Structure 1
Amino acid sequence: MSKRFEEVRAKFLDAWGNMGVTWGIGRTMAQIHGLLMTAEKPLSTDDVMRELAISRGNANTNLRALAGWGIVRRVRRPGDRKEYFESEKDTWTMLCTVARERKRREIEPVIKSLESCLREAERAPAAFRERLESLLDILKAVDLLMGQLAQQQTNSVLPKLLKVFRQ
């Protein structure tokens, strides 16, 4: 690979890592995802370690987490004992998978907690209950939107959303 390509890829992986941090995931996890997303072929743990200069434990932990999110798949090569990993290449499918997982892991548990708090707070001050109800309404709307997004098979939603926001 050319030196220029290596520089551009390093810049991309740094940017992807920074974005991951702002979204609440580790920099290394995001960089591994970016590396796999831009790799032409599946990479082994050793490949990931070498490319990002990280430890085996760090690579393994983050690869498993990415696989748990459904945006990285394990791949086996016949006759090779190593595990290889590849990322979902279709960005729309990846976005839908992340939306589905964020909904399941983050939004749904908070909704359940707020509903429980509201049931238990029947004698709480009205202002407190109103704030919880308002938060719950917003979270349910976000949950509905993320559920709709996660179910889309094609990128038909994005142009519609952009049209709404550009008005």
Structure 2
Amino acid sequence: MKYGEAKERYLQAWGSLGSSWGVSRTMAQVHALLMISTQPVSTEEIMEELSISRGNVNMNVRALIDWGLAEKVFVPGERKEFFRTDKDITNLAVQVAKERKKRELEPILKVLSEVNSVEGDSHEVEEFRKVTTDLHQFASQSDMVLERFINQKSNWFLKILGKLTK
């Protein structure tokens, strides 16, 4: 397979994977392009490579920056904006875990804590309390695992995954 075809397949596959993770296909494709680029990439290069509008590039690059997955860089002698991403997969995974924890897990933990104090003694209330307590316990355990992963000092998590796949 030639580089152009391989690159196109990679960008499409990463876009599909990203949409499965809850980010837009285009945001994932912009990130994929930044990951394989050897130099910082300009808005115009992203537009051309992915055949998307300037507004679409700006919106998705801004989202990547908000997620901590991209940064704007200054290129001497250029007036255009350029962007790059960290290419260390462990760093990227940690950053995604931080954002998912903040955006998804922490809000549901808060809600589950609040609704668990429901008053009443009917069968429905007891079932509600049991389900929300179980969900809260599961979410809390997930939160602890994510926190440990985020604060890792080495790649212990990847070693465990490697052992599980043998």
Q: TM-score over 0.5 for the alignment?
A: yes
Give the letter aligned to residue 80 of structure 2. Answer: K
SS at match of 1:88: coil
Aligned length: 163
1:76 shift after superposition = 0.9
Q: What secondary structure sits across from 1:125 in the alignment? A: helix
Aligned to 1:5: 3
TM-score (ref. length: structure 2):
0.92
Q: Which residue of 1 aligns with 2:101?
A: 103
Quote the offset at 1:166 in angstroms: 5.0
One of 17, 22, 42 as aligned partner of 2:20 = 22
Mark the runs of 5 or more structure 2 residues left unpaired by the alignment.
none
Task: Give the superposition deviation at 1:14.
Answer: 0.6
Instruction: Report SS of the residue matched to 2:13.
Output: helix
2-side partners of 1:70 and 1:117: how far apart?
32
Residue number among 42, 45, 69 corresponding to 2:43 in the alignment: 45
- Residues 13 and 137 (structure 1), Cα distance of their counterparts in 2 relative to 1, 3 Å cut: same
Following the alignment from structure 2 to structure 1, what is the Cα–Cα distance between the partners of residues 26 and 112? Answer: 32
Unmatched 5+ residue regions in structure 1? none
Query: In structure 2, what is the equivalent of residue 67 of structure 1?
Result: 65
Structure 1, residues 125-152: CA drift from partner, whole Å, max 9, x if none? 1011100000010011111111111112
Take 1:75 and 1:166, find their aligned partners in 2: how far apart are those partners?
38
Question: Are 1:93 and 1:153, in contact at CA under 8 Å, matched by a contact in 2?
Answer: no
Shift of 1:72: 0.7
Q: Give the deviation of 1:160 after TM superposition.
A: 2.4
Query: What is the letter of the counterpart of residue 139 of structure 1?
Result: A
1:153 shift after superposition = 3.8
How much identity, in percent, do the aligned residues show?
Answer: 40
Q: How does 1:1-167 map to 2 (within 5 A)?
A: 4-119=2-117, 121-123=118-120, 125-163=125-163, 165-166=164-165
TM-score of the aligned structures, taking structure 1 as reference length: 0.92
Over 3 Å counting, the alpha-carbon distance change for 1:10 and 1:81 in structure 2 is: same
